Amino acid sequence: IFANLSYSSADQVTVHFINRDGERLTATAKEGESLLEVVVNQNLAIDGFGACEGTLACSTCHLIFEKDTFQKLDAVSDEELDMLDLAYGLTETSRLGCQVCIKKSMDGLTVRVPMDVSDIRRQLEVGKQSKQ
């Protein structure tokens, strides 16, 4: 029994998210999960995160990484770069959470959620209200 317990925790990684208000949210992630999946599966209270559900159609899962961690991430795709261009508060170490998958080496990772999100749906809602 104990062997199974240690195995199941062996492929788990601790990830910390610094939310917009500065609150630190800690989650347990499985190797291979995207950071978006971690937020959704752990039901973390990050408002508006992952609006397109990981289909690379928005930038609401925009996360900011520490420089040394960012350099170890897999290469960024052209599609991800296109969406990052639309992200609010873009930095040199920005990535989309739906495109970054957990690796064992990421245990203890801390990522920052930007102060605001660029969500086209919010602009559409404002547009609807102003026309009424």
Q: In the chain, what percentage of residues exceed pLDDT 70?
A: 80
The stretch 112-122 carries a mean pLDDT of 69
Q: Is this prediction's pTM over 0.75?
A: yes
Contact 131, 101 (CB under 8 A): no
Residue 7, pLDDT score = 44
Phi-psi category of residue 91: left, alpha or beta, with phi > 0 → left and psi -120 to 50 → alpha: beta
pLDDT at 26 over 50: yes
Cα 120 to Cα 20: distance, rounded to the nearest angstrom:
19
pLDDT at 28 over 70: yes
Cα 104 to Cα 107: distance, rounded to the nearest angstrom:
6
The stretch 63-80 carries a mean pLDDT of 96
